[in-house]
Structure 1
Amino acid sequence: MSSAFWNPTRRRFLAGSAAIGAAGLIGMRPASAAVDWKRFSGTTLEVNLVKSPRSEIIIKYLAEFEELTGIKVNAEATPEQQQRQKTTIELSSGKPSFDVVHLSYHVQKRQFEKGGWLADISGFLKDPSLTDSSLTEGDFAEAGLQFAKGADGVLRSLPFSVDYWIVYWNKELFEKKGLSYPTTFDEMANAAEALTDASSSTYGFVARGLKNANVPVWTALMLGYGMTPLGPDGKLRTTSDEAVEAAALYQRLMTKAAPVGVSGFNWAEAQSAFLQGKIGMWLDGVGFAPPIENPDKSRVVGKVGYGIMPKGPKAQAAATFGDGIGVTAASKNKEAAYLFCQWVISHDMGARLLQAGAGVPFRQSILEDAKVREGVTMPSTWVDAVVGSGKISQLALPVIIPVTEFRDIYGVGLTNMIGGADPAAELKSATAQFEPVLARSEG
């Protein structure tokens, strides 16, 4: 890769995402007059955020919330791993230093539930003096509500930002081969192989091959076979015929149509390869799109399609990850903290998130607002992929405490498959290793 082109480290990606979308906000709405925004004037809130383009948007506009409510906000944004450690330690103590916490649903949901760390906010949502009438459960993508509610159906956080997995595809390479965007898994695999020409270093497909990072690719494919890694009974379904078929498809794509060395690829390496213009399809999160349309970083500006995940043999599903924001159970300022959470996921803040390319709101009304879409710096087909994915969204990782161990153990098996190992044997071995880990965590 030419040194003049972009090296997408996570830090540069985050900084670049935050800088995108300098266009002014279109589609602003006044704060609801029915809500008594000044009711907790004089209160001070401590807010614990994950450092990301999303928290940068929150911090950038904090003065607006303070002016609207008279509430002083002290917000701290720390890198993801540090934030997770800090929240676990403080919340476990029962005396956290913060009123509001930003959480990664696909990693922390079950841990937060088991600890009883978040306040029940379902009553607040139904209170017209506390909640804008436009904010209803029905406005959230289904996966967002699944994330935000506990097994008991109680709402303990507000869905903030979602990452749907889509297929980025190089329209120029497809046209050269006379191919159209695949509508099924079979078509996707066949197109990937047809686009591959190792002699010109052109490959039909790229995704994460690196152990741990690669697991969501497999589970995203598994959804198309009508299967999830964990059943409703809490038992692993990772040796089912469907799980094995999804792993075999992963193996096929990654051995017959992916670049050499893909077993060492995380999202950054996959993105870097796609930006060079020699990759037909890249499967990953919709939030990684902004650099694609930046001529300083990409050779494929204007040549990329943003596709909803093709249909599997049994279902069409967009693998879904996301984060939320909630009030700590220990907070002495729960209602004021809830007002802050509500502001974070408000129409205007969601519009800013989307227009900056910094994230995708879980609220469908924001995504479907024509005025908001006018201000989006990404192509309209990107927004179409977001909206379409929201309608078929499904959680792609099991909601368990040891999700990192799940990814570590199965990730090794998937990397072995890229090296030629048998999918059924690898999944059987990984499941035998992981079962006792899961049993201990739930005990």
Structure 2
Amino acid sequence: MFGQGLTRRDLLIGTAAAGTLGFGAIAPARADVNWKKFAGTEIGVNLIKSPRGDLLTKYEKEFTDLTGIKVSSEMAPEQQQRQKLVIELSSGKPSFDVCHISYHVQKRQFERAGWLADLSKFMKDPSLTGADLVESDFSAAGLLYAKNDKGEMHSLPWSVDYFIIYWNKDLFAKKNLTFPTTLDELVKTAEALTDPKEGTFGFVCRGLRNANLPPYMNLLLAHGGDALDAKGNLATDSAEAIAAAKMYQTLLTKYGPPGAAGFNWMECQAAFMQGKVGMWLDGVGFAPPLEDPTKSRIVGKVGYAVVPAGPKAQASCTYGDGIAVTETSTKKEAAYLYCQWAVSKLMGARLLQTGGGVPFRNSILNDPNVREGVKFPPAWLDSVIGSSKVSKLGLPVIVPVAEFRDTIGTGLTALLSGGDPATELKKATDAFRPTLERSEKG
């Protein structure tokens, strides 16, 4: 059941038809919710430029039709958006009431600073929250991200991102190759796919400093290591870390396209869509443009797979997004209604069905009709489900995570210029260790 007034048929029409039925035309999930209580209010919303941010802005008129609340939204690429959040929230006078947060980067920092409003009381208020929006509907990972150590919800879990392998079926077929089952096989496959004369390359992932940590961390986890050891000590110069760094270096310097050292996900995506790259390691939410004939040369030729097993483990680096209300907002209730709409079943189904992300809400993922409406190849959904079974947090949950990404990322960037993995990782680890120790003491 989808809650009073919101039927299965309503949901399917609203999602499978890609929005032909406006959200305002669908009865709210709970009759007690007064959706029009804050009509005429205007709220500011700050989003990351991504398939998730695009989805909210595309349908924000439906939210206004439902509530009468006007939305002034802005989007920026993730690194700029994260910097803007910190600068404005630190000032105590942010220009927005709602913000899109990256849990894997901002959770500890935002909690310590007290920048986000506690949504727990709103979730318990039947005049503000539909009966279907309950904590138990969010996955355990989502609640771990969203709650602080007091059990308070300071955001609503929105989208979980698993790292997968995108692969070009045509390039594999031309070389008579099958998809690898281990990371060692993946390296050999990347070698076989690389042909500079034809301008084809076996593998691509992020090489840009800071952005390069997520793909590297996937290799590290697969080698049986992690950023921190069991006692919380920095372990980015361990034997496992060095082995993963050697693999990362090999893949990008020998089998990656020219300029990969400066690639973020956008450049990786563009290179893959041109049909000249065999495999790309990145998040599941970057699939939509690959199947868009106006943007991609490889529509219908893309394979989707769980990251192959490494020497000691199989892992899918997992990251998460949330949607939150700022503590300084004078329009918290109106802003909360926007957050509730953003994680609603309708918007979550759209998110999944368009390939823009994976909702944290179990009721969406477990609904067979929602799954039937997924517009992407079955292999994409299989990769999502398979990755969920081997998911591991992709970054350490620490306050100075941005500094961690910068410092260790500098070491990884040096590898792409020929640096020795053991030397560069030791140098980066030694440089970051005092920062982590100061943070933990604070």
TM range (shorter): 0.7 to 0.9
Mapped contact 2:64–2:71 kept (Cα < 8 A): no
2:154 to 153, 156, 168: 156
Relative contact order (C-alpha < 8 Å, sep 6+): which is higher? Answer: 1
Find out whether 1:255 has 2:253 as its counterpart: yes
Deviation at 1:347, TM superposition (A): 0.6
Match of 2:198, as an amino acid? S
Give the whole-Å Cα distance in 2 for the aligned partners of 1:74 and 1:403: 31
Give the whole-Å Cα distance in 2 for the aligned partners of 1:387 and 1:30: 31
Partner of 1:192: 190
Mapped contact 1:22–1:356 kept (Cα < 8 A): no
SS at match of 1:200: coil
Deviation at 1:333, TM superposition (A): 4.7
Partner of 1:16: none
Deviation at 1:231, TM superposition (A): 4.2
Deviation at 1:284, TM superposition (A): 1.3
1:285 to 283, 286, 289: 283
Find out whether 1:431 has 2:434 as its counterpart: no
1:79 to 66, 76, 84: 76
Partner of 2:408: 410
What are the Cα deviations for residues 387-428 of structure 1, in whole angstroms up to 9, with x where unaligned?
Answer: 332343322122333333222222222122233322122111
Mapped contact 1:161–1:323 kept (Cα < 8 A): yes
Partner of 1:4: none
Q: How does 1:169-180 map to 2 (within 5 A)?
A: 169-180=167-178
Deviation at 1:338, TM superposition (A): 2.8
Gaps of 5+ in 1: 1-20
TM-score, length-scaled by structure 1: 0.83
Partner of 1:44: 41
What are the Cα deviations for residues 201-245 of structure 1, in whole angstroms up to 9, with x where unaligned?
Answer: 332211122322222111121122343313465431212222222
Match of 1:157, as an amino acid? S
Q: Structure 1's 170 and 122: CA in aligned 2 closer, same or farther, altered over 3 A?
A: same
Q: Structure 1's 63 and 290: CA in aligned 2 closer, same or farther, altered over 3 A?
A: closer
Match of 1:44, as an amino acid? T
1:33 to 30, 37, 40: 30
Match of 2:46, as an amino acid? L
Deviation at 1:251, TM superposition (A): 1.9
Deviation at 1:274, TM superposition (A): 1.9
CA RMSD of aligned residues (A): 3.0
How many residues align? The count is: 422
Deviation at 1:101, TM superposition (A): 2.6
Mapped contact 1:55–1:77 kept (Cα < 8 A): no
Mapped contact 1:161–1:322 kept (Cα < 8 A): yes
Gaps of 5+ in 2: 1-14
Match of 1:350, as an amino acid? G
Partner of 1:295: 293
Q: Structure 1's 36 and 237: CA in aligned 2 closer, same or farther, altered over 3 A?
A: same
Partner of 1:340: 338
Give the whole-Å Cα distance in 2 for the aligned partners of 1:178 and 1:407: 38
Q: Structure 1's 315 and 363: CA in aligned 2 closer, same or farther, altered over 3 A?
A: farther
Match of 1:48, as an amino acid? V
Mapped contact 1:141–1:393 kept (Cα < 8 A): no
Deviation at 1:336, TM superposition (A): 4.3
Deviation at 1:315, TM superposition (A): 2.8
Mapped contact 2:148–2:154 kept (Cα < 8 A): yes
Deviation at 1:45, TM superposition (A): 5.4
